[in-house]
Structure formats: C-alpha cells, structure tokens
Amino acid sequence: MKEDKEVYVFDTSALLTYIEDEEGSEDVESLLIRAEKGEVVIYVAFVSLMEVFYITAQEKDESEAMDRVKLIQSLSVKIVESNENLNMSAGRLKTKNRISVADAYVAAVCQERNGILVHKDPEFEKILPKVKEFRLLYKTRSI
C-alpha cells in the first residue's frame, strides 16, 4: 500500500505516552497535529485499542478505559483492522521473533504500510526484518 505522505504507525506505548502526558508526549502530539493538517498519515493497529483498554481498566477502571478508546478513535488516525494478509504477516513476525502477539500486529502494520514505528518499547529493537523507528524515550525503572 503506497502513501504519498509520510506514514507513521503508533504502538500502544506511543498512545499511552500521549494520553498520560509522559515524556515524549510532545512528539506524539506534534505528529497528531501534522496528521490533522493532512501532512502525514498515522495508523493504529486494532490490537492497540484492546491494549489501551485493558491496561487502563487494570490500572484505573473500565469507564476510564472506554474514554481512552473513544479519545483514540477521535484522533486523526486510521485504525487498521485484522485481515488475512495482516494475520499472516503478524504470524510470520511472531514465528521469527520473540515478541508479543500485539507487537507482531503493530510491526506487521508498519511493514505493510511502509511506516515509521513510533514507540517506547525495547522489544521492537529485536524485530527482524527491521522496521523504521521513531523511538520515544524509554521508561527507566527505579529500583
């Protein structure tokens, strides 16, 4: 699928960075503004909506989780639903890499759309074949 504009694919971590106003949210917001102006195209894999929902429901409550999903759906992003080609691409990535199913789908969308993956998930560093990346600052754990 060929786009005339620069293409980005948001991982769940990019969405949560924006929603929770974490470090790097300005970068995500800037891309969203550019998408709203029609300068770039942003895709979000269907599975990221599920991840935002369950993470938020576990950390907060289901009402907040629904609000966040609705927020994402209101943004200037295109949700990519599952289909046979995407399923096979994600399956191939999962076969070759030790990554989660969700990350396999996000990476497959990125490859299918020839996009730049926006994330803060170190798991994507090991994906082969490589995808273009826009890495947000990784969270550091305090011990």
For 6-65, write each residue's pLDDT tens digit: 999 999 999 999 999 999 999 999 999 999 999 999 999 999 999 999 999 999 999 999
* 128 band by pLDDT with thresholds 50, 70 and 90: confident
Give this prediction's pTM: 0.92
Helix (H) or strand (E) holding 119: strand 116-119
User: 86: closest CA among 9, 3, 5, 4?
Assistant: 9
pLDDT at 141 over 80: no
pLDDT at 112 over 70: yes
pLDDT at 142 over 60: no
What domains can you pick out in the chain, each with its CATH number?
A: 6-135 (3.40.50.1010)
Specify the pLDDT at position 19: 97
For 64-96, write each residue's pLDDT tens digit: 999 999 999 999 999 999 999 999 999 999 999
Which residues lie below 8 Å from residue 79, measured CB to CB, with a gap of 6+? 43, 44, 45, 46, 49, 73
Specify the pLDDT at position 125: 84
pLDDT at 1 over 80: no
